[in-house]
Amino acid sequence: MYASEAYASEAYVSELKASGYPVTDRNQVSGNNPVVIDYPPGHLAWGLQVGRTLATGNSIVQPGTSSQAVVVYGP
């Protein structure tokens, strides 16, 4: 499974960890609402999978700059 970084609440970090993602908790809440999920270029499916896991219903999934991790920004 690919790595994830989270700039989001403990609830989002816990959800990702419970679903088996290796998550690096950046201990910062970005305040983004809706949640923004950046995926590595060429790996749209990774971003969509994280979006489905978090089930926010209004996430923005977009290409990011990280080459190895999905990055989640949220409240």
pLDDT of the chain along its 75 residues, tens only?
688 999 998 999 999 999 999 999 998 887 778 999 999 999 999 999 999 999 988 899 999 988 889 999 988
Contact 37, 50 (CB under 8 A): yes
Contact 30, 7 (CB under 8 A): yes
Which pLDDT value is given to residue 35? 92
Q: How far apart are CA 37 and CA 27, in angstroms?
A: 17
Which pLDDT value is given to residue 27? 84
For the chain, give every domain's residue range: 3-73
Measure the N-to-C terminal CA separation of the chain; round to a whole number of Å.
Answer: 24
**For residue 63, how many C-alpha atoms fall within 13 Å in the half-sphere facing its CB?**
5
Which pLDDT value is given to residue 51? 95
Which pLDDT value is given to residue 36? 94
Which pLDDT value is given to residue 1? 65
CATH for the 3-73 domain, from 3.30.70, 3.30.750, 3.30.43, 1.10.20: 3.30.70
